[in-house]
Structure 1
Amino acid sequence: MNAKNCYELAQQALALSARRDPQEIADGLGIDVLYEDGYHDLLGMYYANWGHRFIFLNNRLDDIWQRMVLAHEIGHDQLHRELAHESLQEFNLFQMNSRTEYEANAFASHLLMDNDDVYERLQEGCDIPALAKEQNVNINLLLIKLQQMAALGYDLRVPDCGDSHFFRKIRA
């Protein structure tokens, strides 16, 4: 999936909410979000079958991580739904190939951050760590956003130091 298509799908999902709230967006898309305290290593998981779509989310994550994981899983719904009905266990954050994970992260970056707001703050001289903090996202998700924006034509020189698998390192 190219950056333009990913961005456009995220914009369609954003139209379902008055703000960048992944829970409202999931509700608008008809996805049931189930919060669970019993997950230890699992941050979130998307599953779809028989016309029903579910996101299972680790309730022990802080608000910032819950928001990012939920946006990531909505990305799987919008981009990879056809992959999510094979087996519940096969479709958690860490067992898909890296391309689908990157695409879900790119979608999440578009869902959580506005291109023009990010670009304006960079033009004002805000550095990447400070901008990530302002946007309430992990720095790696911001770097993915910047890569996507550069692909969309924004005049950005993005450092190639991000970790597209940063979710793997989080423990609830």
Structure 2
Amino acid sequence: MRLWIKNIVKQLQEKYNTGCPYSLATHLNIHVLQHDLHHEINGYYKYDRRNRYIVINNNLDKQMQRVVCAHELGHAVLHKRVNTPFMRNNTLLSVDKIEREANKFAAELLITDSDLFDFHEQKTIYDVATLHNVPIQLAELKYKGLFL
């Protein structure tokens, strides 16, 4: 697991008292825009002359828009000056380093450690993903990160 990413997420959550990707973007002066993007494009991050933008496909459902915002916020925080051309539908399976880091950031932001261990009844990784409205890949990343 990339502990430095986990620590950055924790610091942001504590400093701004929120785990909401939209609120964190506001606090960090990152503009979040909704746009009608091609169906294969979920969103992207853009850095332009000291301005930072997250663009999210407004055709996605609200839960997926939140996941895309968290992923792109990961780019904005971890890769500030790197423009990401777009987040395709399959980016959660990416082997590219900065995409993996942004996925890890999103997993840490959207799923807390206690969410995996606070069991009132036995939960599967699918239950965790469903409970937090995240793709199974993010729940798996979070789970694997705790033990690797």
Which ranges of structure 2 fall in alignment gaps of 5 or more residues?
A: none
Correspondence list, 1:127-166, <5 A? 127-151=124-148
**Match 1:104 to one of 77, 102, 105:** 102
Is the contact between residue 129 and residue 136 of structure 2 (CA under 8 Å) also seen in structure 1?
A: yes
Q: How many matched pairs?
A: 144
- Determine helix, strand or coil for the equivalent of 2:41: coil
Task: Please tell me the residue identity of whatever aligns with 1:115.
Answer: D
Shift of 1:39: 3.6
Shift of residue 102, structure 1, vs aligned partner: 1.0
How far did 1:138 drift?
Answer: 1.0
TM-score (norm 1): 0.75
- Equivalents in 1 of 2:15, 2:134: separation in Å? 21
Residues 17, 61 of structure 1: alpha-carbon distance in 2 compared, 3 angstrom cutoff: farther
Distance in 2, matches of 1:58 and 1:73, equals 12
Aligned-partner Cα distance in 2 for 1:61–1:138? 13
Q: Which residue of 1 aligns with 2:52?
A: 53
Deviations 1:78-101 (A, max 9, x none): 1112322xxxxx521248861111
How many angstroms does 1:23 deviate by? 0.6
The structure whose residues are more often strand, as a share, is 2
SS of residue paired to 2:19? coil
Q: CA deviation at 1:66?
A: 0.5
8 Å CA contact 2:115–2:128 kept in 1: the answer is no
Superposition pairs of residues 69-108 of structure 1, within 5 angstroms: 69-84=68-83, 91-94=85-88, 98-108=96-106
The one-letter amino acid of 1:91's match is P
Identity %: 31
The 3 A distance-change label for structure 1 pair 36 and 114 is same
Distance in 2 separating the partners of 1:147 and 1:133: 17
Q: CA RMSD in A?
A: 2.1
CA distance in 1, matches of 2:62, 2:33: 15
Equivalent residue letter for 1:34 = L
SS at match of 1:93: strand
Query: How far 1:17 sits from its partner (Å)?
Result: 4.2
Equivalent AA in structure 2 for residue 106 of structure 1: K
The unaligned stretches of length 5 or more in structure 1 are: 85-89, 152-172
